[in-house]
């Protein structure tokens, strides 16, 4: 039972054949977590009833009541609600919050009798790009513990990469699944907006947030995606099940090389070009494309995201929800609670978001950013009439060192290849494309494939070609 190489399919076959039980598998993961998590800080909580969950799964397996994920150990990002368990979203504001209900994705997985190992660390309220902005301390990259795992789903990516969970759930607002997948050398999938219910996801930026999956392989990520996708009447943004396209083998890939010429690390580009050549050998046509609005996407994102964050987090005021610190007036309660409950990055985005939504600046900033978003959607729609997919590196660099990007602008710039996907609502997947050497460390880098709306299944087809070498 080699956890570093074990896949969901292999575990499924072993569990069903009786080679080992769900309890055996869960114990193996608990031992690995005990040995490694203190160094990585990837889990903020390991659940006390893991073995009880595994026993239930074993009973179902004995009765033949088996689905793809029965007895499979899974990790869950700390902003996805599980009934009667804490969900802090990486923040002191929700340190003692216990969820009264299950998120839709959790309800679906419980019906399959998965084994929930624990909740994973994240940037506070899913705001950041390194998992350094957690109230519970930073998570470290399993490939080099002096470096970040990426964010905001850094804990989820790290536990899969380190063999501390078979697969994991994350959320992706501007690259928060794909970028840590790239940094940690695993597969990260961000579905079409509305493909997976957001009911029970603690909101950061509601028009951008999307629950997605992380696995060692594209097949593992797809198995988990297939179990959680589907229309949900509890989520008004959920798309109908007949919206999605069949997984046809598109063989053309558009590459915005003019855009990529700015700011992408030369070693990352070298690996990217090598992967494109491999795909050409496999029959893919590689075309240069131009997406005029792409260069404005990052700026538009960092107006829209803070604006929605400011609105969503207004509920945490010391009166209604979360942490509440005493004061002599309501204003003092607000100031104390939000000052101590929110970390630096959250406060920064609330301030920016409140500014761009204010009466004197709404037209100058927010309305223009919304117009850029519509333009980007239109540009991508035109491009996808000519090519099946768009390819870019997932991130402009490999994982950077802890504390290296203290300047928020340099941190935001690391999202240049991922935020257009969330603005447009289209699906994308990050697949490992090898590694680069940085100060003696071999660091993974990711290849990002982007598809048109509803092409989620087709993306897994090209992802398998990318990872097969």
Q: Is residue 446 part of a domain?
A: yes
Q: Is residue 332 part of a domain?
A: no
**361: three-class secondary structure by DSSP:** coil
- Find out whether 97 and 86 touch, Cβ atoms under 8 Å: yes
Q: Is residue 370 part of a domain?
A: no
Pairing of strands 285-288, 252-255: parallel
User: What is the pTM (predicted TM-score) of this model?
Assistant: 0.97
> Could you tell me where the beta strands, DSSP code E, fall in 30-95?
43-46, 73-77
Report how far apart, in Å, the C-alpha atoms of 1 and of each of 24, 332, 424 are. 10, 56, 41
Q: Is residue 425 part of a domain?
A: yes
Tens digits of residue pLDDT in 396-450 = 999 999 999 989 999 999 999 999 999 999 999 999 999 999 988 999 999 999 9
Instruction: List all residues 6 or more positions away from 49 whose beta carbon is below 8 Å from its beta carbon.
Output: none
**343: three-class secondary structure by DSSP:** coil
Least Cα distance to 451 among 270, 294, 143, 244 occurs for: 244
Q: Is residue 316 part of a domain?
A: no
Least Cα distance to 75 among 44, 96, 103, 97 occurs for: 44
Cα–Cα dist 346/342, whole Å: 6
Cα–Cα dist 333/436, whole Å: 50
- The CATH number of the domain where 463 resides is what? 3.90.1300.10
Point out the residues of the chain with pLDDT beneath 70: 247, 249, 469
Instruction: List all residues 6 or more positions away from 114 whose beta carbon is below 8 Å from its beta carbon.
Output: 53, 57, 69, 70, 71, 72, 73, 74
Cα–Cα dist 356/458, whole Å: 38
**61: three-class secondary structure by DSSP:** helix
Q: What is the pLDDT of residue 463?
A: 96
Which residue range(s) make up the domain with 133? 1-289+389-469
Cα–Cα dist 259/385, whole Å: 20
Q: What is the pLDDT of residue 264?
A: 96
Q: What is the pLDDT of residue 469?
A: 66
Tens digits of residue pLDDT in 120-160 = 999 999 999 999 999 999 999 999 999 999 999 999 999 99
Q: Give percent of the chain above pLDDT 90.
A: 96
Adjacent-strand bridge partners of 286: 253
Q: Is residue 437 part of a domain?
A: yes
Q: What are phi and psi of 13, to 5 degrees?
A: -65, -40
Cα–Cα dist 199/104, whole Å: 6
Q: What is the pLDDT of residue 246?
A: 77
Cα–Cα dist 139/152, whole Å: 10
* Alpha-carbon 300 to chain mean position: 20
Q: Which residue has the tokens 């994982």?
A: 399
Q: Is residue 346 part of a domain?
A: no
Count structural domains, the chain. Answer: 1
Tokens of 140: 């470290």
What are the residue ranges of helices labelled H in 229-364? 257-260, 266-281, 297-312, 330-341, 344-356
């Amino acid at each position: 039972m080699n956890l570093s190489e074990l896949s969901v399919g292999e575990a499924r076959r072993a569990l069903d054949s009786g080679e080992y039980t769900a309890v055996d598998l869960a114990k193996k993961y608990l031992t690995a977590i005990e040995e490694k998590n203190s160094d990585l800080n990837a889990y903020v909580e390991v659940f006390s009833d893991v073995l009880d969950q595994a026993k239930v799964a074993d009973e179902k397996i004995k009765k033949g009541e088996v689905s793809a994920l029965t007895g499979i150990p899974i990790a869950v990002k700390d902003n996805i609600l599980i009934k009667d368990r804490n969900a802090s979203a990486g923040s002191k504001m929700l340190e003692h919050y216990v969820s009264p209900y299950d998120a839709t994705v959790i309800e679906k997985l419980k019906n399959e009798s998965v084994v929930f190992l624990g909740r994973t660390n994240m940037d506070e309220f899913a705001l950041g790009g390194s998992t350094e902005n957690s109230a519970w301390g930073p998570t470290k990259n399993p490939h080099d513990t002096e470096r970040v795992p990426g964010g905001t789903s850094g804990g989820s990516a790290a536990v899969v990469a380190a063999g501390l969970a078979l697969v994991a759930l994350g959320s992706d607002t501007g690259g928060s699944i794909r970028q840590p997948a790239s940094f940690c050398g695993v597969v990260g999938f961000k579905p079409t907006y509305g493909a997976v219910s957001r009911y029970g996801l603690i909101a950061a930026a509601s028009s951008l947030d999307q629950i997605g999956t992380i696995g060692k392989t594209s097949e593992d990520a797809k198995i988990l995606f297939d179990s959680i996708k589907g229309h949900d009447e509890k989520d008004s943004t959920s798309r109908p099940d007949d919206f999605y396209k069949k997984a046809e083998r598109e063989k053309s890939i558009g590459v915005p090389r003019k855009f990529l010429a700015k700011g992408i690390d030369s070693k990352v580009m070298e690996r990217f070009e090598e992967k494109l050549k491999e795909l050409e050998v496999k029959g893919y046509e590689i075309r240069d494309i131009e997406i005029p609005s792409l260069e404005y996407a990052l700026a538009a994102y960092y107006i829209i995201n803070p604006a929605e964050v400011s609105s969503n987090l207004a509920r945490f005021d010391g009166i209604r929800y979360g942490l509440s610190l005493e004061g002599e007036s309501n204003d003092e309660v607000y100031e104390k609670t939000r000052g101590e409950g929110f970390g630096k990055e959250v406060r920064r985005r609330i301030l920016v978001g409140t500014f761009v939504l204010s009466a004197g600046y709404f037209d100058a900033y927010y309305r223009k950013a919304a117009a850029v978003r519509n333009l980007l959607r239109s540009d991508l729609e035109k491009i996808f009439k000519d090519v099946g997919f768009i390819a870019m590196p997932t991130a402009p660099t490999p994982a950077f060192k802890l504390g290296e990007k203290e300047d928020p602008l340099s941190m935001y710039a690391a999202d240049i290849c991922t935020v257009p996907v969330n603005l447009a609502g289209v699906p994308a997947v990050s697949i490992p494309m090898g590694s680069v050497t940085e100060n003696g460390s071999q660091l993974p880098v990711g290849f990002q494939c982007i598809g048109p709306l509803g092409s989620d299944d087709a993306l897994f087809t090209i992802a398998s070609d990318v990872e097969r070498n």
